[in-house]
Amino acid sequence: MASISVPFLWSFERKVHFVQYWRALFIAIFVTAAIFIPWDIAFTLHGNWGFNERYLTGIYLFGLPIEEILFFICIPYASVFTHEALKYYLPKNPIERYSKAISITLLVLFVTVLMFNLDRQYTVSATLLAIIEIAVFQFLLKSKDLGRIYFSYLVVLIPFFIVNGLLTGSLIPEEVVWYNNAENLGIRIGTIPADDLIYAFGLLVLNMQLFEYLKPAKSKKVS
């Protein structure tokens, strides 16, 4: 809950006034969670990952710890808040002109990773979703928001490494979330599986892009 406390409290300040976007935000969160939670349930049952009961409240919903369900609300909330705050305080996006080039580069990277890891369920599912999102938003719908979203994703990676590092065992006796390395790339950045970066990409890009589509038109002044 610490990840959402500051963004929630700052949602009411007058400059960004994030509370005005709550309707769009929570629809985006709900739609995205409707994809990610069933995926999470299936992979938990299959043993692709699991949770250390030592750090849990013991409350479960749909077979998942309540903390995991809240993850799909708190992390997107904090990330989309950061995205919107960056647009206000840094209106000029430093990577805007490179948006399409970034999309093409990521597509090539993700397709390559996918092709060489077809036997790894976590890698396949995470990269496939990322590929679909880029193809749809960049080339089918021709989104004007992706450059800004890519920049926001890079910024959000900073707290991501802190939070996910703790969840995977950094600075604590045991990991909160464990992973079956037979189903992922087997590459760790510190204690974090590299696949988590792709998973986070899919989660956050989908939330941010849906949020942008759902926002009131009059508020879409900065791209």
Q: State residue 218's pLDDT score.
A: 61
Mean pLDDT score of the chain, rounded to an integer?
94
* Band of residue 36 on the pLDDT scale cut at 50, 70, 90: very high
What's the distance, Cα to Cα, between the start and end of the chain in Å?
Answer: 30
Give the closest residue to 79 by CA, choosing from 167, 185, 8: 8
CA dihedral 59, 63, 67, 68 (to 10 degrees): 180
Residues 87-132: pLDDT tens digits? 999 999 999 999 999 999 999 999 999 999 999 999 999 999 999 9
* Band of residue 223 on the pLDDT scale cut at 50, 70, 90: very low
Q: Is 142 left (phi over 0), alpha (psi -120 to 50) or beta?
A: left
Single-letter amino acid code for the residue at 128: L
Instruction: Evaluate whether 206 touches 80 at the Cβ level (below 8 Å).
Output: no
pLDDT > 90 fraction of the chain, expressed in percent and rounded: 89
Count of CB atoms situated within 10 Å of the CB of 202:
24
* Band of residue 219 on the pLDDT scale cut at 50, 70, 90: low
CA distance 73 to 111: 29
Count of CB atoms situated within 10 Å of the CB of 92:
6
CA dihedral 157, 162, 166, 170 (to 10 degrees): 110
